[in-house]
Amino acid sequence: MSTTSVTHLPTDSQPTEPGTKVTRVTPMRRLSHIAERFGLVLLLIAITAFFALWPVTSSTFPTTANMRNILANESILVIAALAALVPLVAERFDLSVGAIVMVSSITTAKVVTQLGLPLAIGVLAGMLTGLVIGLVNGVIIAYFNASSLVITSGMSTLLAGVGSYLAGDTTLLGIPDSLAAFGNQYWLGVARPVWLLIVVALAVAYMLGLTAFGRTLLSIGSNESAARLVGLPVARSVMMAFALSGALAGLAGVLLLARTGSAAAGVGAGYTLPALAAIFLGSTTIKLGRFTVAGTLVGVFFVAISINGLTLAGADDWVEPFFNGAAVVIAVAASAILAKRRLGGTR
């Protein structure tokens, strides 16, 4: 008779069968599981408390102004990370997210400043720019079976040239006051970009968890061959994932313009690496080995608060890229280990 392992205690309503091996969950084992699952969350709380109490940063870090600044600034990165998250759920990388942020920001600025069109049209133009670029990525990757890493990396380089052509050597200024007000003013004591972030995060979480499209992406990411066998629209779903990724990156570009009040070639392109770092860091917490909205939020603010605290402590300029790069390497390795354990059933 085969032996089966279970991870719960037997109860009167769940009698154990002969030959069944029962693994008792001790308090220490339960505590270890919680620490493993919520380790990054606990570390985020710990590092926040450290910078709040450390004499070097205690006078500046825990202030309301600093916390508001972190939340408002990171709203752009969170939306960019959610853009990259959507295709990554289906095991496809989008390395063009940062470049789309840049080009969408420049497009919106040119429409409202040089063409003199209404702000609503400029915002729509920025998001449509991202949508079209994402759609191009998606069609090539989904219907021609091209590598997402190669295609989106090439697209990122291509968009760098497009951005330089559109903006030239100048910084585009003169955006409408209403857009700048949205990017820098508050509503109910919270920066307006944070409210947008909340709406987008909830929408993406709902889409991934409670819609047929989201479940299809999850199925593709878990086992693409099985998804094809059961008749799921794999190619169409992957294409739509990249289109949605582009639209969200376009929205992040518009928000970047609102926050900074200007657009220029190269500004925004640096969001790709921090976005991926946040996503992979997030896969090491809450739902281990899985890419989730909640985990991505934790990853973004873990990196942001760490860098903010180190900057206030007087760290050199090399700290931020070093921290982001190290976060990617460590998080990808940890995510791969957790995914392997999950698939192997060795939790």
Instruction: Judge whether 30 lies within some domain.
Output: no
User: What are the start-end ranges of the E strands in the chain?
Assistant: 5-6, 21-22, 186-187, 190-191
**pLDDT given at position 140:** 97
Q: Does 69 reside within a domain?
A: yes
In a domain, 339, yes or no: yes
Q: Are 131 and 250 in contact (CB under 8 A)?
A: yes
SS3 187: strand
Residue ranges making up the domain that contains 327 = 38-344
**Is residue 347 within 8 Å of 296, Cβ to Cβ?**
no
Is 10 within the bounds of a domain?
no
Phi, psi angles (nearest 5°) of residue 231: 90, 15
Q: What is the pLDDT of residue 1?
A: 42
Helix (H) or strand (E) holding 121: helix 119-143
Does 188 reside within a domain? yes
Q: Average of pLDDT values for 139-165?
A: 95
DSSP letter for each residue of 214-248: HHHHHHHHH-HHHHHHTT--HHHHHHHHHHHHHHH
**Is residue 3 included in any domain, yes or no?**
no
8-state DSSP, 144: S
Is the pLDDT at 19 greater than 90? The verdict is no
Which residues are registered as beta bridge partners of 187?
Answer: 190
Rounded CA-CA distance 164/46 in Å is 42
- List, for residues 56-115, the tens digit of each pLDDT value: 999 999 999 999 999 999 999 999 999 999 999 999 999 999 999 999 999 999 999 988
Q: What is the CATH number of the domain that holds 185?
A: 1.10.3470
Instruction: Kindly state the percentage of the chain with pLDDT values over 90.
Output: 61
Rounded to two decimals, what is the model's pTM?
Answer: 0.86
* Residue 193, Cβ density class (10 Å: 0-12 exposed, 13-18 middle, ≥19 buried): buried
Instruction: pLDDT band for 269, please (50, 70, 90 cuts).
Output: confident
**Domain total for the chain?**
1
Closest CA to 69 of 200, 201, 186, 188: 186
DSSP for residue 145: -
96-105, 229-238, 279-288 — which is least confidently predicted?
279-288
Residue 250 has what pLDDT? Answer: 97
Give the chain's mean pLDDT: 87
Angle at 113 between CA 111 and CA 118, to 5 degrees: 60
Residue 125 forms part of a structural domain: yes
Domain annotation covers residue 29: no
Helix or strand (DSSP H, E) at 316: none
Q: Which residues pair with 186 in a beta bridge?
A: 191
Task: Rounding to the nearest 10 degrees, give the CA dihedral for residues 176, 178, 182, 188.
Answer: 160
Contact 260, 271 (CB under 8 A): no
Computed from CA positions of residues 75, 251, 159, 149, in that sequence, does the dihedral angle turn out positive or negative? positive
The percentage of residues in the chain with a pLDDT greater than 70, rounded to a whole number, is 87
